[in-house]
Structure 1
Amino acid sequence: MHRLFKTLLATILLVSLTACASVPTATRSAMPDDVLPGYGASNVRIDSFTVSVPQSLKANERNLYYPVGDIVWRGEPRGDRHAQVKAIFEAGLRRAAPMIEGARPVRIDVQVLRFHSLSEKARYTVGGVHDIDFRYRLVDVATGQQIGPSKDVGADLDALGGQAAMAAEGRGETQKLRIIAHLSRVFVEELTVPGGHVNANLGLLQAINNL
C-alpha cells in the first residue's frame, strides 16, 4: 500500500507539472559496521577502489513518470543496468582520485544502495531528480584494517527535463557525463571537506523519493 501511494503521488505531481511547466522503498544490502559520520578532511589518498551493485537491487524498465525500483537508468541502451551503474561509479572514482592528495593510501569500498534516475517520459517532459545513495568504507592499504566506520551518503542531483535536457544533449552533456562529474565531486568532498558531502535540497520531487 505504501509503495502504491508513493507511485500514485509521484505520478499525479509529474502529470500536473507537465500541464503547467515550460520546460518504493530501496532494497538494502548492508556492508559491515555501524553507519556513523565519515572521513571529511582526512589525510588520505585513493590507492584503489571496489564498487558493488548488489543483484538484490531491483531494476525497473517501465516508461512511467515514476517507475518504482532501486535502479532506474535510461542514459544508455538497455542492458545490464547493474553493470552500467557500477561503471558510472568507477568512472567517478577514477576522476576523483587525483584530486584527493593525502599521505595515507587507502582502498575505498563502495556499495550502491539506490540509483533512481529518470524514465524517458519524465526526461522528455518535467525532469526531476537523480536519486543516488551509496555506502562506503576506507581500508588502510598497509595494514588491511578498516579506518573508522562505514558511512551512508545521499548524492542526489537535479535531473534536466524537456528543452533543457535536449539542449544539454546537444552540447554533449549527457545524463551519464553529468552524473559521473557529480559523483566525482561527491567523493572529493567526502574525503577532503570537514563533515563530507552535504546532499542538495532539491524540493518536492526529492521529498517524494525519500518517502
Structure 2
Amino acid sequence: MKMTSISILVLALGLSACAQTTSMSSQNQVSSDLSQASRLPQAPGPRGPVMLQAEYDVKAVNVLVPHTLKVSEANTFHPSADIVWRGDLPGDRYAQVKAIFDDAAARSTATMHTGEPVVVDLEVVRFHCLTEKTRYTVGGVHSLHFMMTVRDAATGVVLQGPRLIVADVKGAGGNRAVAEEQAGRTQKVVVTDRLTEVLRRELSAPIAVLPADAVVTRFDGTPAQLASLQ
C-alpha cells in the first residue's frame, strides 16, 4: 500500500509538470506569434480618394445604337426589351438614346487633350430605363450597358477593348421621383450625368492618392476641395 501511494504521488507530480510545460510552451508560442505579427507590414492609414487624369487626347467619339435592339413602349414594370426610354416625348428612341450618349461623350471628353490621340467607339447594348408605372411607384435601376473601343486616331489600331461597360444607376420612384422631377432632376439628367461620369472614369488613369483636405482641380479647370467632389 505504501509503495502504491508513492507511485500515485510520483505520477501526479509528473502530470502536473507536463501540464506546466505544455502551458509554458503555449504561452511561448503565443508570444512568438505576436512578435511575428508586430513585424508584419501594417495596413495603410486613412487616405484620400484616388485622383484621375485624362489618359488620351480624344479626337472624336462615335456612338452607334444598332436598330437590331428591341424597343418597347409597354407601360409595365419591366418590359422585355433592349431599349426602354420615357425621358423624351414619344419618337425615334434610337435617335434619342444616341443623342444622350453624344451629349455625355462631349461633356466627359471636353478637356481630354493630353496623351495619345484617339478615337472612341461606343456601341449601345442595353438602355433599359424606368417606365411610367415603375417610376411613379417602386422605382428601380436604369440599366445602361455599352461596348467601348479606343483606337489610335491616325492608324485605327485598337488600343483598348472592345469591352463591356456597365453604367447602371438607381432611379427614384414614387413621391421622391415626383420631387426630383419638380427640382429639374429628370430621368434624362440622371442617365446623362451617370454616362458622363462613367465615360470620364473609363478614359482616365489614376495618378495619386491625396488627403481628404487637399485642394484639387476639377475637369473644367476650377479649384475645389476633395470633400466637395465625393
TM-score, shorter chain, exceeding 0.5: yes
Tell me what 1:90 maps to: 102
For 1:30-69, what per-residue CA distance to the aligned partner results, in whole angstroms no more than 9, with x for missing partners?
xxxxxxxxxx977312111110000110000010011110
Long gaps (5+) in structure 2: 1-51, 207-230
Structure of greater relative contact order (alpha carbons < 8 Å, 6+ residues apart):
1
Q: How does 1:64-103 map to 2 (within 5 A)?
A: 64-103=76-115
For 1:69-128, what per-residue CA distance to the aligned partner results, in whole angstroms no more than 9, with x for missing partners?
000000111111011001000000001012434321211010000000011000011110
TM-score by length of 1: 0.70
2:119 matched to 1:107? yes
Secondary structure in structure 1 of the residue aligned to 2:130: coil
Tell me what 2:149 maps to: 137
For 1:109-165, what per-residue CA distance to the aligned partner results, in whole angstroms no more than 9, with x for missing partners?
100000000110000111100011000101111222221331111110001111111
TM-score by length of 2: 0.64
Secondary structure in structure 2 of the residue aligned to 1:163: helix
Tell me what 1:170 maps to: 182
Tell me what 1:51 maps to: 63
Preserved CA contact (<8 Å) 2:55 2:205? no
Separation in structure 1 between the aligned mates of residue 76 and residue 201 of structure 2, nearest angstrom: 34
Secondary structure in structure 1 of the residue aligned to 2:203: helix
Match of 1:125 among 112, 128, 137: 137
Preserved CA contact (<8 Å) 1:59 1:72? yes
Long gaps (5+) in structure 1: 1-39, 195-211
Decide whether aligned partners of structure 1 residues 191 and 164 sit closer, same or farther in structure 2, where only a CA change above 3 A counts. Answer: same
Equivalent residue pairs, number: 155
Structure whose CA Rg is larger: 2
Match of 2:171 among 145, 156, 159: 159
Separation in structure 2 between the aligned mates of residue 156 and residue 148 of structure 1, nearest angstrom: 22
Preserved CA contact (<8 Å) 2:54 2:112? no
Preserved CA contact (<8 Å) 1:99 1:188? no
Separation in structure 2 between the aligned mates of residue 168 and residue 93 of structure 1, nearest angstrom: 24
Separation in structure 2 between the aligned mates of residue 47 and residue 153 of structure 1, nearest angstrom: 21
Preserved CA contact (<8 Å) 2:140 2:172? yes
Preserved CA contact (<8 Å) 2:148 2:161? no
Tell me what 2:224 maps to: none
